[in-house]
Amino acid sequence: MARQSASVLIASFQENYEQLLRFLTRRLNGDSQRAADVVQDTYLRLAKTPDTDDEIDNPRAYIYRVAGNLAIDQIRSDRRLSARHDGDEGALEISDPKPGPEKIYLSREQIMLLDRALKELPDNARAALLMFRVEGMSHTEIADKLGVSNSMVAKYIGRALRHCRDALLAGDEK
């Protein structure tokens, strides 16, 4: 009879999966990833239902009770873990907010690639991009300074950005 109970529970679980996931997401403060983990744990718990002659009157309520209990266990576990780490006063001294050597190297490499790409640009395109991005000038101001139309400024900037993007992407492939 228990295998029949387990199959009834699994069938009810499958019917109510979406509602159960929403219920647990609310219960776990909107954390859908943790809720999905608890739903999976619930399924495993239901699949391991022990052999008994007792029949479950309300499978849906039973499933929600199991899931709710597992969610409470998860919350308690998280609190214990958090309390354990909150007491670590030296933990802040260990972490260094500065980038590591690899990040520094990669950033410098990207700057060199970008500098090279800027040097390859035609004078007007480079000037338009630098005036727009570095100096914060508007398209109208750039157009007046370069003696071209606003639409030409937009084309210069678009071409320059594409060229720089392609140069960085080509450098990443190496």
Q: pLDDT tens digits for the chain (174 residues)?
A: 344 567 788 888 899 899 999 999 998 888 889 999 999 999 998 888 776 667 778 889 999 999 999 999 988 888 888 777 665 555 556 667 788 888 888 889 989 999 999 999 999 999 999 999 999 999 999 999 999 999 999 999 999 999 999 988 887 676
With 0-12 / 13-18 / 19 or more C-beta atoms within 10 angstroms meaning exposed / middle / buried, residue 31 is middle
Question: Does the reported pTM lie above 0.85?
Answer: no
Task: Name all domains of the chain by residue range, CATH numbers in brackets.
Answer: 2-91 (1.10.1740), 101-173 (1.10.10.10)
With 0-12 / 13-18 / 19 or more C-beta atoms within 10 angstroms meaning exposed / middle / buried, residue 8 is middle
8 Å CB contact between 19 and 4: no
